[in-house]
Amino acid sequence: MPWLIIIILILVIGLLLAYILLYKKEIRDIAKKVELINSNDTNKKISVQINSKEIRELAYQLNDMIGHYKNENIKIAKAQQEFKEEITNISHDLRTPLTSIAGYLQMVESEKTPERKKEYHGIIRRRVNTLIKLLDEFFEFTRIESDEYILQFEKINVSNVLTETVSLFYYDFIAKDSEPIMDMPTRLIYISADKGTLKRIFQNLIQNYLNHGTGNLYVSVKEDGKHVCISFKNHAINMDNETAERLFQRFYTADKSRNKRTTGLGLAIVKNLINQMNGEIKAYIENSFLVINIKF
């Protein structure tokens, strides 16, 4: 009888040792797989050979952590690329007027005719004003991003503010040979917002149309249940939904040459201000029209 107990104990110990060895081997394999995944750009996941709840849970948690790590790396790489593009765009936007100013200053210095000097001075003045405008947009965007923009909420008649803002661009519409087509409600519609900020939002949207849009500008205000919807729409033949969705990214402009001397911050400022006033904004293409919808 004692011999039977000893044999059973030896078998149990042997099985335990075998199981421990299997555990150690599995852990070593997992460590090697983690090292391989960490040192190579691969989508492989950790798999296990033994049917152990603890080992399976370890593999699951490691796969989840690796997936999160890879996603974060992708986000970082994307952010770095966007940052490089932003720096390039800022450099281009600032360098272009500065180069032009430097060129015309040389021409002024070498020019002896008073009339030509006066012409060059006028060009330089316009380039300086363009540069000031660019810097002002950079400063304003930075101020809004850093939460230094203080809002004063009040009850506002949306149609009145919108009509008033559109009227400020009367001569700009004439120069563009276009007109704003307004679709305003017969009843008064109010929202809680900062009046100056709401006006700035409308100004940026109209200015964006004047810089980049074609055809007439269609503007409408309507109620949608508990929300107030404000829509800006203009013809955009060569734009797709992917481009439309990127319009609110900072420094993004559909004009790749950036010849129109815009920073690409106008719509980014719009989105930021609307978010601060608890609103929503989206852009999409519908029947060759760019539609920008605001909802409060």
Quote the pLDDT of residue 257: 46
Residue 100 pLDDT: 73
Copy the structure tokens of residue 201.
Answer: 């939002």
Q: Are strands 214-224 and 280-286 parallel, antiparallel or unpaired?
A: unpaired
Q: What backbone torsions phi and psi does residue 219 show, to the nearest 5 degrees?
A: -125, 135
DSSP state for residue 284 in the 8-state scheme: E
Dist. CA 158–CA 188, nearest whole Å: 8
What 8-state DSSP symbol labels residue 277?
Answer: T
Per-residue pLDDT, 94? 67
Instruction: Look up residue 169 and give its DSSP letter.
Output: T
Query: Global pTM?
Result: 0.58
Q: 43 vs 18, 26, 31, 61, 69, CA distance in Å?
A: 32, 20, 16, 16, 12
Cα distance between residue 193 and residue 278, in whole Å: 9
pLDDT in tens, the chain (296 residues): 677 777 777 777 777 777 677 777 777 877 777 777 777 767 777 777 777 777 778 778 888 887 887 888 788 777 777 666 666 666 666 666 677 777 777 777 776 777 777 777 777 777 777 777 777 777 776 777 666 677 888 998 998 999 999 988 888 888 888 888 888 888 888 989 889 889 989 988 998 888 888 889 999 999 888 889 999 999 887 888 888 888 887 666 655 544 555 556 778 888 888 988 888 999 889 888 899 999 99
DSSP, residue by residue, 219-266: EEEEEETTEEEEEEEEE-TT--HHHHHHTTSTT--S-TT-TT---S-H
d(CA 291, CA 17): 70
DSSP label of 75: H
In this prediction, residue 83 carries a pLDDT of: 64
Q: Which two tokens stand for residue 213?
A: 């849009």
Short-list 282, 271, 276, 265, CA closest to 193: 276
